[in-house]
Every structure is written in structure tokens, then in C-alpha cells.
Chains A and B, each alone.
Chain A
Amino acid sequence: MDIWPLILLNGLTLGAVYFVASSGLTLIFGLMRVITLAHGTSFLFGGYLGYVVAAATDNWILGLLAGLLAAGLLGLFTHQVLIRRFQDDDMRVALITLGVAVIGTDLMLAIFGGTATQVPFPQNLQVAVNLPGIGDYPLIRLIILAIAIVLGLAIYFIIAKTRFGSIVRAGVDDAPMTSATGVNVRVVFAVIFAVGSALAGLAGVISGSLFPLLPGQDGSYLLFSLVVVIVGGMGSIPGAAIGSALVGIVSQFALVVAPTYAFVLTFALMVIVLAVRPQGIMGRPA
């Protein structure tokens, strides 16, 4: 049996987790031109909350929703209380959210401890399916890949086809003019910030079902989201999809080819893309 299709599929499912996390980041950047460095905090916070709820209710779906909601509320709080006034100052927003990340890391370490936890998911999903050319493959990974694809298509269609989506696109192009046409851009900003954070929280629960949740993952997932968004092009959902698939596949192949330097090779991808196309694969020139 050939090992490469398996690695490819592993890369894609890993990319699915990256996509859910980074789509939130790219949405926030696309509309507001700010980067939230608390994105990893939303990720881990959502993951932990999802773990608590899923363990207490024995319901994986409730866990997903809890993670989504918790991170969304955290994002809403951060936006309304801390950064709304400085929205035009992208650097200050980045720095304030960095402060949120520092506090979040410390408090989550205090509350949830330093040991690994894993979100429990139903027994009947803990099976393998037989895929042609690959052999037995865990069903949960395929479900997560499907969730990511559905979510990606949903976001894409909401942005491209609905009225809310057109408001968001208008806001991306020219926030003051959109505001002048009677749209309450402040509300749109708040919603997008909350949704973006909620997506990170969802990614946290999903990732926590596949791999253990650990302190420090907030930092690493923030970085992976940043790399995905840089590679794919900031503000582009298709870009985030391409970027996360690339990052996932490259990191899995690198694990096989050069395990010691897998992380370095993943970043080498970013460097190559930047050298050729500074705005990212799907990004518009700044």
C-alpha cells in the first residue's frame, strides 16, 4: 500500500482545522484591516469550554456549540470594551489583543492546568472507514473535513450572495461610504469580530477532538493561522482554504521526509510565497 495518499488525506484534514481557525482571522482582517493576536486565545478558550460542556453533557454537538459561543462572546467583549475606540489604529489593536492573549494564556493555564485534555466524542463515531487506496481511516477526521468544507462554502455564499454579505464587501472596499448609505458599520464590525472569534473557538473544539488540547497551543495556532492567512492572501476566504490545505499538506509531508524540521519547512512555504507574491496567493495588492 502506498503511503502518500494517506499523508495527503492527513494533510487535508489537518488543513481543515487550520481553515476553520484562519477563516475567522481572514474575515476580521478583510473587513476591519486589523489583526487580532488574541485569535489563538479564542481557539484554546473555545476548545477548553467545548471540552467542559462535551464532558458534562456527553454531547459532542453541544460541545461544538459551546466552544463557538464562548469564543464569540470573548471576541465581542474584546471588541466592544477594548478595541472599538482604536479601530483605525491597526497597530494599537494588534498590541491590545496581544495583551488579551498574554492574560488569556496565563488564566487558562491557571484554570485548566498544564496537562493535556481531549474533547470526548461519541463512541459510534470512533470507527474507521475503508477508503479505496488508503485503507482504514478514522471517520472523525473525514467528518471534520466535511464540516470545514461546508463551513467554507457557507461563508463564501453568505459573503457573495446575501445582503449581509454585500454589506460586508462594501465595508471592505470603503467603510465610510458604506456608513454614509445608512448601514450601521459599527454593528457590522462587532458582528464580524464576534463571528471571526467564534470560528476560532469552533476550530478549538474540532482540534481538541483530534489532538490533545495543551497550553501553548494558543500561540502555535495563532501562528499557523497567521501563516495560512499570509500564504493565502489576507481577507480572502478561498485564499484561506488554499493556504490551509497547503500548510496542512506541507507539514504532513515534511513530517515524513524530514521530521526534525517539519515546522521549519512549513514556514519555508510562507517565505517562498512571500518572495514570489508578497500579497499572498489570492490576495489583492495592498
Chain B
Amino acid sequence: MSTSTSSTPRTANWRGWVTAQNVVVVVVLLAAIIFPLVVDRPRFWLPNIGVRTLWMGTIAMSLVFLNRYVGLLSLAQMTFAGICSYGIGYFSVTMGWPIIPSIILSLGVGSFAGWLTALIAVRTKAIYFMMITLALSQVFYSWASQAIEVTNARRGIAPIPRPDFGFINLNDITTFYYFALFLAVLSYFIFRYTAKSQFGLAIQGIKDSPERMSALGYNVNRYRTAALTLAAFVASIGGVILVFDRNQVDPSFVSLDATLNILVVAVVGGIGSLGGVFIGGLVFALLQNFAQDFTDRYMTLTGLVFIGVLLFFPTGLVGLGPIIRRLFSRRAKTSNSAESSETLDAARRAGTHNKKGQHK
């Protein structure tokens, strides 16, 4: 994932699009599309691994987007997703509204929550921002587990049936999987498009040097607020998949554990890579489902994997790509300075926002 498409001139030449990144994206996408056809027990694999990977990945991707392009680590992404899930439950079940307006309105509510959070948190930086988003997410958790008239407190809102839109019926698990895949891919391209847009370049400039961008006349906080709102919107898309996956919504959606799980997914997948989160989501979903077979302490195992990744693969599992490639190229040519500097660059980009720059 280290080859950047922006280095190739964007002419009408189609070869410009054949980059390592796009090849990987296409391969992963094809694998995801044939996934329901090749697994032995679709009733188990599709909901427990497939759909779960997709919503965890989508929510974690919004976290990675903020970290990579804005330099802010938000721990409230799961909460935005949960707010959207609650919205769908409240509008469609409690209020009895039709499902499509409920979903659209809930996406708006989730994004609005992101905008509100930004108003409070955007003036702070790095570690402060992380702590404030963590605290705000817990405010919502405590409210959700107590506000009986809106969220039905700890029992939550259930059942929230999967809708039948007429042209697609989400009650069919394969259809639902493809629906979730469509939303995840859509989210991925929203972020990729945004990163390359003028707005995306501006926020990256703000990440690198807020003072300089401010001097150039950019309203730094307004750009950060917009980026956070966009990330909350994508997290809300993850919340749509989530609520129809579980068929209910309860406070455990937005608990500290759920928030941390999303962070684990993002870090294991690679905190600098938008697509890598789906690898993290897959690893996490597999751990959740299969680690229970040989140990009750699968959270300990998850924690150990998490720390191991942080200690040894700061770029996450996608960072393994360049490492493996370097191993092969070392066999081919003894000097590989270009390759290693590329890895270093990837590591620097992937490494979390570091005010002191590189240590060593």
C-alpha cells in the first residue's frame, strides 16, 4: 500500500490507474465478492465473519481517516455509529416511521453528533483530543443506558427487522452481505476521493503545519470540524450495517469495550491505511469466533495481539507487505536503499501523530 497514486500523472492513459494500491483493492474486492460462494457454511460465515468485518472495518476506517489525514485520534467513532443505530431503532420501531426516511435521518443524526463533538474537541490536539472524545463517548453511553424514554435504557430497542426495500430484500443473508459490502466500498471511495480533493489536501496541510495553513488564510478549526463530521457520517454508515446485523440496539453498542474493539481493529489492520482496517476487522472477527474454542480468555489474546502489533509492526498488518517485499528484493539485489526508505516513509506516514517527529 506504499505506492501512492498521486505520483503518477493523471492523464487519460489508463495505465495511470494500474498501481499497486489499486491492484490490491481490486483483488480484495473480488475476494470479498466471491466470499459467499466459496465458504462451506454461509449461515455462519456471512453474518459472523463477513458482515461483522464490514461494519467494524467501516467504523475503524473513519478512525483511520481522521488519524491519517487530520492527525486526530478519535475514540468517539463507535459512538457515532451507535447513535445512528439508535436513531434507526427509535425512528423506525419506537416512532413507527418508514424505514428509508429513518435511515436517512439517522445518518444525519450521527453526523450531527460528530459536528457537536467537533465543536467541543476541535480546539484541542493529539492526546487531549483522544481523551475528550473518549470521555464524550462515555457520556453518551451513560445517557443511553439510563434514558428509558428514548433508548429504553439497558434493554435497548428490539427487534429491528431487516427491511425489504422491494427491489432488494435484506432478510436474505447473502443479499444483506452484498448490501453491507456495497456500503463499505462506498465509504472507502468517499474517503479516497476526499483525500485527493482540494479539501483533502487542505486538511493534510493542516495536519502537517496548522500555523502555516492558518497564515495562508485557512480556517483550521473549520476544516477539522468538517473532516470530523464527514468521518462521523461514514461511521454512521457502519452503524446502519451494525444495527441490521444485530437486529437490535442496546448500550453495549457504545460501551467502552466496543470503542476499544474498534481501536484494536484499526491498529491491527494498520492505522495509516484506509483499506487495511478490513484486514484488522477480519482478524478480530476470526479471533472473536474461533479463539473461544481453545481459550476463554480471548480478550487477553486480543490484547496480546494488539500490543504485539504496536511493538513490532507499527504500520499494522498491511505494513507486512513492504517488509515481505523487501525480504524478496534483498535476495535479488544486495543494496535496497530505495525500498527501505519507502518502508520508512510508510512507517512514518502510518505512525500516529507524533509531535516530536521521529525519535532516534
Does residue B264 face the partner (Cβ distance < 8 Å to A)? Answer: yes
A264 lies within 8 A of B143 (CB): yes
Chain A residues, CB < 8 A from B303: 99-100, 102-103, 106
User: Whole-angstrom distance from the CB of A189 to the nearest CB of chain B?
Assistant: 14
What is the chain A residue whose CB lies nearest that of B255? A219
Q: Interface readout for A226-251 with B: 1 if CB under 8 Å, 0 if not?
A: 11001000100000000000000000
Binds B, one of A42-50, A85-93, A125-133, A134-142: A85-93
The CA of A100 and the CA of B303, in the complex, are separated in Å by: 7
The CA of A286 and the CA of B210, in the complex, are separated in Å by: 14
A92 lies within 8 A of B314 (CB): yes
The CA of A274 and the CA of B146, in the complex, are separated in Å by: 25
Q: Which of B69-115 contact A (CB under 8 A)?
A: 73
Chain B residues, CB < 8 A from A101: 260
Which among A99, A107, A219 has the highest number of chain B CB atoms within 10 Å? A99
Does residue B172 face the partner (Cβ distance < 8 Å to A)? Answer: no
Query: Binding site of A, secondary structure by majority: helix, strand, loop or mixed?
Result: helix
Option from B128, B146, B260, B264 in Cβ contact (under 8 Å) with A230: B128
B355 lies within 8 A of A264 (CB): no
B130 lies within 8 A of A94 (CB): yes
User: Whole-angstrom distance from the CB of A44 to the nearest CB of chain B?
Assistant: 13
What is the chain B residue whose CB lies nearest that of A91? B352
Residue count of chain A within 8 Å CB distance of chain B: 41
Does residue A82 face the partner (Cβ distance < 8 Å to B)? Answer: yes
Indicate the size class of the contact surface on chain B. 35 or more
Chain A residues, CB < 8 A from B128: 230, 234, 278, 286
Query: Binding site of B, secondary structure by majority: helix, strand, loop or mixed?
Result: helix
The CA of A95 and the CA of B316, in the complex, are separated in Å by: 13
B142 lies within 8 A of A264 (CB): yes
Q: Which of A89-124 contact B (CB under 8 A)?
A: 89-92, 94-96, 98-103, 105-107, 110
Q: In the complex where A95-B310, A100-B307, A102-B299 touch, is A275 in contact with B136 (Cβ < 8 A)?
A: no
Does residue B24 face the partner (Cβ distance < 8 Å to A)? Answer: no
The CA of A278 and the CA of B131, in the complex, are separated in Å by: 13
A95 lies within 8 A of B267 (CB): yes
Does residue A35 face the partner (Cβ distance < 8 Å to B)? Answer: yes
User: Whole-angstrom distance from the CB of A117 to the nearest CB of chain B?
Assistant: 21
Chain B residues, CB < 8 A from A260: 146-147
The CA of A98 and the CA of B138, in the complex, are separated in Å by: 16
Chain B residues, CB < 8 A from A96: 307, 310-311
Supplied contacts A99-B310, A267-B142, 8 more A-B pairs, CB within 8 Å = A35-B131, A89-B356, A91-B73, A96-B310, A263-B139, A263-B146, A270-B132, A274-B121
29 A/B residue pairs, CB under 8 Å, sorted by A: A34-B127, A35-B131, A86-B359, A89-B359, A90-B126, A91-B73, A91-B126, A92-B310, A92-B351, A96-B311, A100-B303, A102-B306, A103-B299, A103-B303, A103-B304, A103-B307, A106-B297, A106-B300, A106-B303, A107-B297, A107-B300, A110-B296, A261-B146, A267-B135, A267-B136, A274-B120, A278-B124, A286-B125, A286-B128
Chain A: residues with CB nearer than 8 A to chain B? 34-35, 82, 86-92, 94-96, 98-103, 105-107, 110, 219, 223, 226-227, 230, 234, 260-261, 263-264, 267-268, 270-271, 274-275, 278, 286
